[in-house]
Amino acid sequence: MEFNFVWCFVGVVLSVRCSGGQNIDQTMAVFKTGDPGSFFGLSVSLHRKLNPEENLLLVGAPKGNDLLNPTLNDTGCLFSCAISTDQSDCKLVKNIDQSSEVKKKNQWLGVSVASQGPGKMVMVCAHRHKSKNSRMDGSCYILEQDLSLYKNVYSFCKDSKRDEIFDGLCQFGISVASIDGSEGFSVGHPGIMKWTGMLTMYTTTDGIVSDYDGEILNAEDSYQGFSVVASTGVFSKHTVTVVAGAPRYNHSGAVMLWRPQAKDGTLVYISQLNSSDLASSFGYAVALLDLNADGWQDLVVGAPNLFRSKELQGGAIFIYMNEKGRLSRNSLLRTAPGGKLSQFGLALEHIGDINLDGYQDLAVGAPCDDRGKVYIFLGNQDSISQKPSQVLGGQELPLYFGFSLSGGLDVDGNGFPDLLVGSLSDKVVLLRTSPLVSITSSIISSEDLIDLTVKNCLARPCVNITMCFKYSCKSEHFNSMLKLDLNLTANVQSPTWIHPKYLTFQTSVDHAPVAVFKHLVKLPRKGEEECVTTIAQITEKVDNLLKPLIFHGIYVVHEDEPSTERGAARTLTAPHPILEDALNNHFSLQVGFLILGCKDNRTCHSNLQLNTTFYLGNENSGFVQLPRDTTGCQELHISDKKVVLQMVLTNSGDKAYNAQLVTKLPSELAFKSFHVQPEMNCDYNEDSSHFRCVLGKPFENGAQANINVTLMQNTAFPTPGVDKTNLSVQVTTDSDQEDVTVTKCFLLHYSLRVTLEGSVEPPYLSFGGSKGQEGDTIDEEDVGNFIKYTIKWQGVEATQGMLDYHRDLNQMGLLSTHKNSSPILQTEEPVTVDLRWPSLTREGKHLIYALSINGGQKGKCENLGIDPLNLELSTQSDGRKISKLMSKEEYSGTGVKEMNMECPSGHVLCATAICQVDITMKTRITLHARLWNSTFVQDFADYDRVQLVMSVKAYTHSQSRITILDSGGAKIRLWANPDPTILQTFELPWWIILIAVLAGVIILALLIFMMYKCHFFKRSHYYEQMQRATHIPEDQREATRAAEQAEELDCLQPKVSQ
């Protein structure tokens, strides 16, 4: 085996063993332990020596010390271990290296080891062995089949004259492999020629050594020869091909293929396979095996350091299928099922055909996957299994389990090859392969039909059941006794597949009857049949003779408990056989009953007939049949709280065994009570959707059953999208008859009460002004006062019948089990809201002129009577005030003259608006309008007040199953009266206004003239005032004053001419 040397660090996690199709037994593993720190298990190999024949485990410990020279360190050792349970019985293989002590020190003997097969030679190598010039040239030793020394094989680096840099670290023997199909070994020494690497092939029959000139590769630091394998059947059936891994070639890795020349045996380069994954260590391990059994060796290459971040996988193997001597360049990839540091592909081993299916199988080591794992891949007709058939690992195994592998040899004699696994924990584990066996089973009964009248076993009816077994195995070497644990039960075919209470198994007279027959079946050798018989007794009355007894047997391989006797610790227990087809480990047999009273002793031909009728009422007050519509569906109203389903079942044929009547209700209906005659077992399920009655055991010929079931509606409100619903009644029987099915159609009607609220703003107003003509009005503001109507849709209310129904549901405990149990409407059916208001007088004059209507978020309105004149609408809501608004107190009083206009009536013509609203949602309908002022001034000025009433109603369409109860709807009242303060006003003629203006101007002119004459506009000067301030005698002042007064009187009197 080659030296696979890498350190890996990983957490310790419990690994789970795969199931299904695995036969490498991990429960009976054989452990061998070496000295701590000796690297015991770095290399392993299975070997068999002859004369005497003995299977051995060869284990290399390259840092172990030679017991004969304890002063030397790291000489390395090869141990031979027996196949036993003693973990420390490995023996040192002595006298391998006869060189001087100086050369043996630190040589790492056992770094690689390989066996050619049973009775053939073994090669073990020490890659750090020093030559006479103290260079690490390495050396290998060929041992006889009994592990005695045959010959030393040294690297030609020993006699090389090149410098130490070129050939100083030859490391011959770091990998070694036996040549399949030839008597020889292939050895790698990767350190030669500046780590280019080189191969050597040694033939033990004639001692010929073949090598090649490594300089032809011209690839330093490639490490060619780090892994090696050789076999015939790669490019030629008879010529050997050597495959060498170069894991550092071009920083990615490669695999080189060589063949020896016929004339001198020199290895000739053929081709190579390169990797494109940087630092993947492609070629760290290689293996040749025939995966698809076509006679040609396929190549498997390990790349343990391959990492792809998207998959978070560490390591992979590449499979190159051989197509008749040509390796395919398109490889098959198998990545690590474990983590990104698992080192999957660090070790590869051809382990032979472990399941004997004719295809060779492969083991892949992943020593850093948890504590270490080994993946088993099975060959098949195409190539290799997509997923591993078995994963070996667990807490009980050593750390870094799977570092080295050796397989393909049967060491326990059962004909199935076993597997030896090494680790870096100074332990090795031998995992033996369990034999795969196939079981042939049969079961028969002593009677075809059980006659219950014949009591032939302890005064009871019975039947003998006999089961026979034999096994086969593909291995010629396995012929041991096989033990099976057998369980036999009897079942009755039903939805629950129950065990019949009336049947037991009688194992013997001394033992009590049992419900399950258990027995240990011993099959002495391969191909020999062993039979077991038991008695099945009928202990009670059988209700349904048409249901046959089904005897069902299942068996598993019996596993003996480990022996606890003294000295048994050294006894190696063989692995337990495994069923090759683990899913096919059962058998069954049907045994029927002899049926008396039917025309056929095996089958009864019944004739069940069902008649159903629906009624209202009860047995005390009498029944009234439910009405039907034109399609024949039953019509059911919410007020019909008690609906009785009357069912009459008769049988005019043979006995009806296991006859059952099942009524399936729709979600809108629920059971309330039932009455049956004669008595029978009836019940309904938890959600009250199924009602079932068992009709007799059996239901005899001429029998009649009357079943009255009282139903009620399971929901007070409709279910969305459901106009009709069906009720089905089905009668089934195990007798020979088709199921009887009756389906009834229902129309469910609901009565709902709605809540409508209406208001108008303002509720009181007055009119007055000009008696203009209607045709004069062209703008909205010219019409009259603004009016806003608001109708609030509050949804629906439950009627008293609904509330009573929910109270009944609650008392029965069914309220919480139905999705429609709460009184909340669940329907998408719309409701129509009808608005009618006084629009025109009988003469066609406008009264209330509607401008716009809005149905809110959940409503949609049709504009039938809205703005018929297409007026220019104002952006302001009030418009021009033609008349003032009045308070409610101004309308109070008695003895007034009143006009009442309401829709419908003979006084006015009404306008209509129709809105569709969601029955479940609250919404608000808004109507904007104006009071047509001129009409009221012309026609209603003599009235003290006028009442205008808008009527609002809600209804559903004629085909709806929802009925809106008539509650009178809503009436919205608007009051208007004439305003005396502005009613008599009129406009003056223009000429009167002109004359009045002219007269005013003339009067103003005369007034100004008179003021002028009286010096009203004349102002006094300053000096004139100063002179008047001079002292004047008193008598003179009085005379002057008198003269001025006389002058003033003269100006006031008109002058008369003399």
Min mean pLDDT across 74-88, 909-923, 1018-1032 is at: 1018-1032
Q: What is the DSSP letter of 667?
A: T
Would you place residue 880 in the very low, low, confident or very high pLDDT band (cuts 50, 70, 90)?
very low
- Range with the lowest mean pLDDT among 108-122, 419-433, 619-633? 619-633
What integer pLDDT is reported at residue 968 of this predicted model?
Answer: 61
Sign of CA dihedral 1038, 1041, 1046, 1047: positive
Does the pLDDT value for residue 7 go beyond 60? no
| DSSP of 828-877 | --EEEEEEEEEEEETTS-BSEEEEEEE--TTEEEE-SSS-TT--B--SSS
pLDDT tens sequence across 560-609: 876 544 444 456 888 999 999 888 899 999 998 888 778 777 788 899 99
Q: Which residue has the higher pLDDT, 925 or 1044?
A: 925
Alpha carbon 54 to chain centroid distance? Answer: 57
pLDDT at 1033: 66
For residue range 265-322, list pLDDT tens digits in order.
788 889 999 998 888 999 999 999 999 999 999 999 999 999 876 665 789 999 999 9
Is residue 645 within 8 Å of 618, Cβ to Cβ? no
Q: How far is CA 1004 from CA 1007, 1008, 1010, 1018, in A?
A: 5, 6, 10, 19
Tell me whether the omega of the peptide bond preceding residue 904 falls within 30 degrees of 0, making it cis: yes
The per-residue pLDDT for range 244-278, each reduced to its tens digit, is 999 999 999 999 999 988 777 788 889 999 998 88
What pLDDT does residue 212 have? 66
For 550, the token pair is 């089904």
Q: What are phi and psi of 165, to 5 degrees?
A: -65, -35
Query: Which carries the bigger pLDDT value, residue 716 or residue 907?
Result: 907
Where b means 16+ CB within 10 Å and e means fewer, 552-572 reads ebebebeeeeeeeeeeeeeee
Q: pLDDT of 148-177, one tens digit each?
A: 998 888 776 766 655 555 566 888 999 999
pLDDT in tens, 354-365: 999 999 999 999
Length of the chain in residues, anyone?
Answer: 1058
Q: What per-residue confidence (pLDDT) applies to 883?
A: 41
pLDDT higher than threshold 90 for residue 1018: no
Q: Average pLDDT in the 123-132 region?
A: 86
Task: Render 480-519 in DSSP notation, one character per residue.
Answer: --EEEEEEEEEEE-STT-BPPTTEEEE--TTS--BSSEEE
Strands 254-260 and 267-274: antiparallel
Task: Tell the burial category of 1051 from Cβ atoms under 10 Å away from its Cβ (0-12, 13-18, 19+).
Answer: exposed
Hey, which residues does 365 pair with through a beta bridge?
347, 374
- What distance in Å separates the CA atoms of residue 965 and residue 959, rounded to the nearest whole number? 16
Query: What's the pTM?
Result: 0.64
Task: Give percent helix, percent strand, percent coil of the chain, each to the nearest 5.
Answer: 10, 40, 50
- Please, are residues 780 and 879 in contact by the beta-carbon 8 Å criterion? yes
Residue in 662, 641, 804 with CA at minimum distance from that of residue 713: 641
**Residue given tokens 């609203």 in the structure block:** 917
Sequence-ordered alpha helix ranges (H) in 341-432: none
Q: Residue with structure tokens 């078995």?
A: 390
What separation, in Å, do the N-terminal and C-terminal C-alpha atoms of the chain show? 175
Retrieve residue 670's tokens.
Answer: 């629920």
pLDDT in tens, 802-838: 555 455 545 544 333 333 333 445 555 678 888 889 9
Residue type, 296: W
CA distance 35 to 66: 12
Cα–Cα separations (whole angstroms), residue 493 to 501, 586, 655: 14, 17, 20
Q: Residues 6 or more apart from 718 whose CB is under 8 A from it?
A: 748, 750, 825, 826, 827, 829, 961, 962
pLDDT reading at 71 higher than 80: no
- Gap between the Cα atoms of 382 and 501, Å rounded: 53
In whole angstroms, how far apart are CA 883 and each of 761, 853, 880, 982?
Answer: 15, 24, 9, 8
Residue 1005: CA count within 13 A, CB half-sphere: 6
User: Do residues 270 and 241 lie in contact, with contact meaning Cβ atoms separated by under 8 Å?
Assistant: yes
Instruction: Give the span between the Cα atoms of 435 and 230, in whole angstroms.
Output: 30
| Alpha carbon distance 335, 50 (integer Å) | 41
Two tokens, residue 377: 């891949």
Place of tokens 């293989």: 93
Q: Tell me what pLDDT residue 14 has.
A: 27
Pairing of strands 30-33, 298-308: unpaired
Compute, in degrees rounded to 10, the torsion defined by CA atoms 139, 145, 151, 155. Answer: -30
Q: What is the widest separation between alpha-carbon atoms in the chain?
A: 197
- In 3D space, the residue among 114, 141, 129 whose CA is nearest the CA of residue 46 turns out to be 114
Q: What angle do CA 99, 103, 107 make, to 5 degrees?
A: 110
DSSP state of 388: -
pLDDT of residue 938: 85
Q: What is the mean pLDDT of residues 676-696?
A: 84
- Residue 331: both structure tokens together: 């490889």
List the structure tokens of 693. Answer: 């009655």
* 415 contact partners, CB below 8 Å, separation of at least 6: 356, 435, 473, 474, 475, 476, 477, 478
CB-CB contact of 316 with 334 (8 Å): yes
Task: Give the tokens for residue 266.
Answer: 């020199």
